[in-house]
Structure 1
Amino acid sequence: MVRDTLVSAIRAAMERDGGINLHEYPIRITHNDSLRLEGEVGSIEAKRKALLIARRLAGDLPVEDGLRLTPGERREGKALLNGVLSALMQEPAFAEMDISNGERRESASPRGKIQVKVDGNRVVLLGWVNSLSHRRLAEVIAWWVAGCCDVLNLLHVEPAEMETDDEISDAVRLVLDKEPSLNADEIRIRTRNAEVTLAGIVHSAEQKRIASNDCWYIPGVHAVHNQLEVRPR
């Protein structure tokens, strides 16, 4: 596909997607040796969907991610770094892992080592963890910290694990269990071909939106089908 045609096709696909609002949040698409998306987007859903569309249509052409979430709170640098470190250290799933900014020597841990760096309002996660669920959870927790506009997850898993639909469902369950506004026991999760379907009961339209949004924070999710029924208390 020639350069202008590819960019036009990607833009047209984004305009058709209800989760991406190009009018309010324009996305710049540049095509040289690779394809690059840049700009601020209004939600994690828009960011994930824009990248999925670009990668699907680009074929073998590399796609670079320059998209950032519009910050709800302006916080970057040391303040953001401390917020992410604190959130990870308070997570029970990481209790036996070494978590730091890399400036102090850590004891060897058999469970994992997470090093956090911050570039402006972008969080970078380095090191290793012992499961894909831990890798995904670390990214979600970083996204949840106020002021975070992007996460580059460079954590690797030791020993290596295969990506499966069941593993994605496990990660969704783990994340929804940690969402204080939801009763995750009332939500059923099914994943097929990396597409997550949520069914069950929530008690407000806002809870339904939050459940869907939390799924999009999880890396590896390609679509979210929200079939949750709203039953006011």
Structure 2
Amino acid sequence: MRTGETVEVVRRRLTGEARLDLGRHPVALAFDDGVLTMEGELGDVGAKKLALERAAAVAGVRHIVDRLRVAPARRMTDAEIRDHLRDLLLEAAELQPVARAGPAPAGGPAPGGPDLRLGSLGASVREGVVTLDGTVPSLAHKRLAGVLAWWIPGVRDVVNGLEVVPPEQDGDDEITDAVRLALEKDPLVDADAIAVSTRGAVVTLRGAVRCEVERAAAERDAWCVFGVDGVRNLVER
């Protein structure tokens, strides 16, 4: 396909997804030599992941430059986001082996370095985008840190660059375990009421909850997990 045709096919794929609501959240597209650039602000993390998945499935798209952001639930400064992230990482019992508080560096963060360093975890915040770096001992640790970052209401995107050392084999079972952990950590959700399964990185949620707020929170938790490409929310209320 020619450049214009590829862009048009991607746009049709995106327009066909009601969740994206392109009338309210437009996405700019540019395509050159197999590289698709996507830029805009979508309604939530689920919409962002859906947009990327739909675009990646178009023939001829070999790589995506992801400049999509998520509309924040609340406006926060980068410093506020950093402080919230620090507290969440330190409070998570599962992350205690890797996230440890240390003395703040004199004069603030080093130029070009992470804004936050907790043990082997590092994080930088720029215009609402959290970038995680450093090393963790498991995929579960990597995914939990990413979910906690997404939970901060001012966050517009999370780039999860944490390296798992030693490397682990990933798969649907690992994603399912991570989603279950996210549900258990969420005070808005009764995790015992929701069954989780994963096939081909698409998570299915089943069960019954008390209200629409809880149902929506469970779906958002699943979308926040690194490696999840889709969510089928079959939870009833």
TM-score, normalised via structure 2 length: 0.89
The equivalent residue for 1:24 is: 24
Pick closer, same or farther for the CA change 1:217–1:52 going to 2, 3 Å: same
1:154 and 2:161 aligned: yes
Pick closer, same or farther for the CA change 1:201–1:37 going to 2, 3 Å: same
What letter corresponds to residue 122 of structure 1 in structure 2?
V
The equivalent residue for 1:114 is: 121
1:104 offset after TM fit, Å? 4.3
Q: 1:51-86 deviations in whole A, cap 9, x for unaligned?
A: 111112155521011011112211132222112111
1:198 offset after TM fit, Å? 0.8
Q: Is the 8 A contact 1:101 1:115 kept in 2?
A: no
The equivalent residue for 2:14 is: 14
Identity level (%): 35
The equivalent residue for 2:217 is: 210
1:73 counterpart SS class: coil
Query: Distance between the aligned counterparts of 1:102 and 1:89, measured in 2?
Result: 14
Q: 1:100-131 deviations in whole A, cap 9, x for unaligned?
A: 799749xxxxxx71101111211110001111
1:225 offset after TM fit, Å? 1.0
Q: Unmatched 5+ residue regions in structure 2?
A: 107-118
Q: Unmatched 5+ residue regions in structure 1?
A: 106-111
Greater than 3 Å deviation, 4+ residue runs: 98-105
CA RMSD of aligned residues (A): 1.9
The equivalent residue for 1:167 is: 174
Q: 1:24-70 deviations in whole A, cap 9, x for unaligned?
A: 10001111342111111111111000011111215552101101111
The equivalent residue for 1:67 is: 68
Query: Distance between the aligned counterparts of 1:225 and 1:178, measured in 2?
Result: 20
What letter corresponds to residue 166 of structure 1 in structure 2?
D
